[in-house]
Amino acid sequence: AQRVTQPEKLLSVFKGAPVELKCNYSYSGSPELFWYVQYSRQRLQLLLRHISRESIKGFTADLNKGETSFHLKKPFAQEEDSAMYYCALAAHNAGNMLTFGGGTRLMVKP
C-alpha cells in the first residue's frame, strides 16, 4: 500500500528565509505527486503537481525517485505563505486514489 509521510507537523521560519517542507512516499509503481495548500479559513487547493514541473507562488518541488521524496521548496518565504501544506500521492494501480500526508503547518514570522 502507498504511504505519504510529512515528518514535520510545524515549520517556523522568518520572512525571507528559505523554506523546505519535506515529503517522503512509498509506492511500488510510478507515482504522481501533488502539493495542496490550505490557507486559514479557506478550502484546500492544489498548489502544484510534479508532472507540471512548474513554479507556483515561488514554490517548486522536484520528484526524487531515488530518495522517494517530493520536498516543497521556496527560496524566500513570505508571511502570506503561512498555511497548512499537504503532500499527496495518486496511485495509478488503485484508480488514481489519493493518499495524503499528515500535513505541515508553515508559519512565516515577520
Contact residues toward other proteins (CB under 8 A) are 9, 34, 36, 38, 40, 43-46, 49, 84, 86, 94-100, 102-103, 105
Q: Which of 71, 86, 87 is nearest to 18 (CA)?
A: 71
Q: For residues 17 and 97, which CB has a smaller minimum distance to other proteins in the complex?
A: 97
Nearest CB to other proteins, comparing residues 17 and 44: 44
Q: DSSP 3-state assignment of 52? A: helix
Least distance CB 66 / other proteins (angstroms): 26
Q: Considering the complex, what minimum distance in angstroms separates the CB of residue 102 from other proteins?
A: 6
CA neighbor of 46 nearest in space, from 107, 4, 98, 5 = 98
CA-to-CA distance for 104 and 84, rounded, in angstroms? 6
The answer to whether 72 touches 24, Cβ cutoff 8 Å, is no
User: What is the closest distance, in whole angstroms, from the C-beta atom of residue 94 to other proteins in the complex?
Assistant: 8
